[in-house]
Amino acid sequence: MLIRLLRAHLSPYKKPIGLLVLLQFLQTCASLYLPTLNADIIDNGVVEGDTGYILTFGALMLGVTVVQVVCNTGAVFYGARTSAALGRDVRAAVFDRVQSFSAREVGQFGAPSLITRTTNDVQQVQMLVLLAFTLMVSAPIMCVGGVVMALGLDVPLSGVLLAVLPVMAIVLTLIIRRMRPLFRSMQVKLDTVNRVLREQITGNRVIRAFVRDDFEKGRFGEANWDLTETSLATGRIMALMFPFVMTIVNVASIAVVWFGAHRINSGGMQIGDLTAFLAYLMQIVMSVMMATFMFMQVPRAEVCAERIQEVLATESSVVPPAPETSVRELLQRGHLEIRGADFGYPGAEEPVLRAVDLVARPGETTAIIGSTGSGKSTLLGLVPRLYDTTSGAVLVDGEDVREIDPELMARTVGLVPQKPYLFSGTVASNLRYGRPDATDEELWHALGVAQAREFVAALEGGLNAPITQGGTNVSGGQRQRLAIARTLVQRPEIYLFDDSFSALDYATDAALRRALGDETAESTVVIVAQRVSTIRDADRIVVLDEGRVVGSGRHHELMADNETYREIVLSQLTEAEAA
Ligand SMILES: Nc1ncnc2c1ncn2[C@@H]1O[C@H](COP(=O)(O)OP(=O)(O)OP(=O)(O)O)[C@@H](O)[C@H]1O
């Protein structure tokens, strides 16, 4: 998964990657050359007392160091730039995919997990790539080159490496194997912390109202501690690694000095070569340790890559039509027909809607009423394609909504959702969400119809008054009215109001519907409502029960012959009021 993700997203950066590989190669070669030069200066300059030799080779050493520093800086620069670009590209790809998701896929992953995948998971992959750019070239060259150089200096002394390298390899492999599952579970636990935290922030008011602070604190503490324990376990293993490597380095150094001293005494080796040998030993051990450090990050990045790929590989269940064949013009003015629509949520045993038929015409108001959970919101959601029907079809002006160009659909259908959502910004930026070029006059007019003019005028800044994320700085009723005004500004052919008047008092509800009547006289209006008074004057009332249409007609017709409707009405009004 990780390789697939990297191959797909690193291919545009072949040139900078090639360049940084070359720079890493040069800087590693320079690093490997330095101890040999140093040994030369000691053996041929210092021991022989040849100042000219020291100066010439000292200058050469300086030159090699400059090459090493310049190449290293360049490699780090390109590595950081390319890994940041990779992070940006993968985040954009995940975001694009999530944007194409219908409510079904968003529900399947869950919002917190999608956020973690787009941010933290991408960051983990990015970090591994940065490490790999720095170490993947230099560590193997440093290790193999170090061994070759050490052998070149003194073959018998290199026997020490024969003992050091296998011990390091075995212990480091054991450490990596222990770390893998820990990193895997750390990512899942991070997801849990995010989920719990998000739930507690959004549900803050409920927690306060039920005085469940301690319970929630405990729940968060548990998730937090779970994550901490895993992090500590990985930390403990990592902490073991450094003393282990340092012990090996020190023991090996003592061995090298011990045996080296004997080799010098017997005339088999020079003093400068011994210092160079020690430097190579250090380079070899360090390169192995750095490579291990990189490999430790691999399991975590692998898990993250899997999670990212899972999102990228998920196709939206609401597929936009092919641009060449999509319908770009509608001939009538908002004639809506739902024909034999079935719909079931993924994983649910029973369908929520069964063979639903409904017709809503321009100039008419169609109301949908039914008990809680009867499928009213789901039915409305089929029109702007929040979901697609499992069988049957939704037609606008005779065209299947699955074939209509999404932009045209957005202009034609305006939905005021049951839980209206406002974005952070201002009143005006929210109202212009569906039509950015609307004038201030048009905004005020829409606010007037939605019975929101007065309260917006009273806000400091009026149209420019700030709105917080989710619209939490206005009341539920005000939010509903702003959401209605937002849809009015959009001026669609078909208005869908999903229980949009429920947070309004009776007087405001009545005034709003009167004003709305004039505004939408030519349009198709579909209203879902719980309150009978909101819909009794509708041209057609559709009664929904357990996902089926059990009646359709005007108020007095349904009162006469529809038992479900009568029950709903009489639960709210007296016989006399209902007549
Ligand atoms: N995202 C979802 N996943 C699974 N089931 C769902 C989902 N949303 C709704 N349902 C189920 O679908 C059924 C219909 O829900 P829907 O929201 O359409 O009803 P409703 O008539 O609008 O209810 P209300 O009047 O309470 O708003 C319910 O039984 C509900 O449990």
| Inter-residue contact 407 to 385 (CB < 8 Å) | no
Instruction: For residue 562, name the pLDDT band (cuts at 50, 70, 90).
Output: confident
The pLDDT score that the predictor gives to residue 220 is 94
**Token code pair at residue 420:** 């209206």
Q: Whose CA is nearest to atom 23 of ligand 1?
A: 373
CA distances from 573 to 98, 371, 490, 568, 569 (A): 45, 16, 35, 9, 6
The CA distance from 490 to 513, in Å, is 18
**Three-class HEC string of 408-468:** HHHHHEEEECCCCCCCCEEHHHHHCCCCCCCCHHHHHHHHHHCCCHHHHHHCCCHHHCEEC
- Please indicate whether residue 444, judged by its CB atom, sits closer than 6 Å to ligand 1: no
- Please indicate whether residue 378, judged by its CB atom, sits closer than 6 Å to ligand 1: yes
The amino acid that residue 470 corresponds to is G
Ligand 1 centroid to Cα of residue 378, in Å, is 6
CA distances from 323 to 167, 319, 383 (A): 62, 12, 20
**Token code pair at residue 408:** 């045209």
What are the tens digits of pLDDT across the range 452-486?
Answer: 988 899 988 889 999 988 777 888 889 989 999 99
**Token code pair at residue 564:** 């479900």
Task: Please give the number of the atom of ligand 1 that sits closest to the Cα of 381.
Answer: 18
Pairing of strands 391-396, 413-416: unpaired
| Triad 222, 224, 230: Cα angle to 5° | 100
CA neighbor of 237 nearest in space, from 318, 275, 181: 181
The CA distance from 542 to 369, in Å, is 6
**Token code pair at residue 534:** 């909101």
- Please indicate whether residue 107, judged by its CB atom, sits closer than 6 Å to ligand 1: yes
Ligand 1 centroid to Cα of residue 485, in Å, is 25
Q: Is the dihedral of CA 449, 454, 459, 460 positive or negative?
A: positive
Calculate mean pLDDT across residues 95-99.
Answer: 92
CA distances from 309 to 5, 9, 88, 305, 318 (A): 7, 12, 15, 6, 20
Q: What is the ipTM of this complex?
A: 0.95
- Please indicate whether residue 417, judged by its CB atom, sits closer than 6 Å to ligand 1: no
- Please indicate whether residue 376, judged by its CB atom, sits closer than 6 Å to ligand 1: yes
Q: Whose CA is nearest to atom 2 of ligand 1?
A: 345
Only one residue has tokens 């006059």, namely: 441
The pLDDT score that the predictor gives to residue 332 is 67
CA neighbor of 344 nearest in space, from 356, 357, 359, 358: 356
CA neighbor of 394 nearest in space, from 360, 347, 434: 360
Ligand 1 centroid to Cα of residue 484, in Å, is 22
Task: Please give the number of the atom of ligand 1 that sits closest to the Cα of 103.
Answer: 1
Q: Whose CA is nearest to atom 10 of ligand 1?
A: 345
Looking at the predicted structure, is the pLDDT value of residue 331 above 80? no
What are the tens digits of pLDDT across the range 237-295?
Answer: 888 887 888 888 889 889 989 988 988 888 888 888 888 988 998 888 888 888 877 87
Ligand 1 centroid to Cα of residue 376, in Å, is 8
**Token code pair at residue 57:** 């080779």
Mutate to test the pocket of ligand 1, among 102, 378, 571 (most ligand atoms within 8 A of CB): 378
| Inter-residue contact 482 to 425 (CB < 8 Å) | no
Q: Could you tell me what percent of the chain has a pLDDT over 90?
A: 37
Pairing of strands 365-370, 540-545: parallel
Calculate mean pLDDT across residues 416-420.
Answer: 88
Give me the phi and psi of 72, to 5 degrees please.
-65, -45
Alpha helices in 101-212 (DSSP H): 103-109, 111-116, 122-135, 138-153, 159-202, 204-209
Q: What is the DSSP string of 97-116?
A: HHHH--HHHHHHH-HHHHHH
- Residue 448: burial class (beta carbons within 10 Å; 0-12, 13-18, 19+): middle
Task: Please give the number of the atom of ligand 1 that sits closest to the Cα of 347.
Answer: 4
Pairing of strands 353-360, 365-370: unpaired
The pLDDT score that the predictor gives to residue 266 is 87
Q: Whose CA is nearest to atom 5 of ligand 1?
A: 345
What are the tens digits of pLDDT across the range 192-250?
Answer: 898 899 888 888 888 988 889 899 999 999 999 999 999 999 888 888 887 888 888 88
The amino acid that residue 537 corresponds to is D
Task: Please give the number of the atom of ligand 1 that sits closest to the Cα of 104.
Answer: 1
Ligand 1 centroid to Cα of residue 317, in Å, is 18
Q: Whose CA is nearest to atom 18 of ligand 1?
A: 375
Ligand 1 centroid to Cα of residue 94, in Å, is 28
The count of other CB atoms within 10 Å of the CB of residue 436 is: 8
Task: Please give the number of the atom of ligand 1 that sits closest to the Cα of 547.
Answer: 14
The CA distance from 101 to 118, in Å, is 14
Instruction: For residue 513, name the pLDDT band (cuts at 50, 70, 90).
Output: confident
**Helix, strand, or coil here: 188?**
helix
- Please indicate whether residue 375, judged by its CB atom, sits closer than 6 Å to ligand 1: yes
| Inter-residue contact 137 to 25 (CB < 8 Å) | yes
- Please indicate whether residue 373, judged by its CB atom, sits closer than 6 Å to ligand 1: yes
In sequence order, what E strands does 146-271 have? none
Q: Whose CA is nearest to atom 16 of ligand 1?
A: 375
**Helix, strand, or coil here: 332?**
coil
Ligand 1 centroid to Cα of residue 373, in Å, is 5
CA distances from 13 to 16, 85, 90, 127, 519 (A): 6, 9, 13, 17, 55
The CA distance from 453 to 447, in Å, is 5
Ligand 1 centroid to Cα of residue 562, in Å, is 23
- Domains, the chain, in order of start with CATH, read 2-312 (1.20.1560.10), 336-418+492-578 (3.40.50.300)
- Please indicate whether residue 145, judged by its CB atom, sits closer than 6 Å to ligand 1: no
Ligand 1 centroid to Cα of residue 375, in Å, is 6
Mutate to test the pocket of ligand 1, among 109, 376, 528 (most ligand atoms within 8 A of CB): 376
- Please indicate whether residue 370, judged by its CB atom, sits closer than 6 Å to ligand 1: yes
The CA distance from 455 to 478, in Å, is 8
The CA distance from 104 to 97, in Å, is 13
Pairing of strands 413-416, 494-498: parallel
Task: Please give the number of the atom of ligand 1 that sits closest to the Cα of 378.
Answer: 18
Instruction: For residue 329, name the pLDDT band (cuts at 50, 70, 90).
Output: confident
Mutate to test the pocket of ligand 1, among 352, 387, 543 (most ligand atoms within 8 A of CB): 352
| Inter-residue contact 125 to 93 (CB < 8 Å) | no
Looking at the predicted structure, is the pLDDT value of residue 401 above 80? yes
The CA distance from 62 to 66, in Å, is 6
Instruction: For residue 393, name the pLDDT band (cuts at 50, 70, 90).
Output: very high
The CA distance from 428 to 466, in Å, is 9
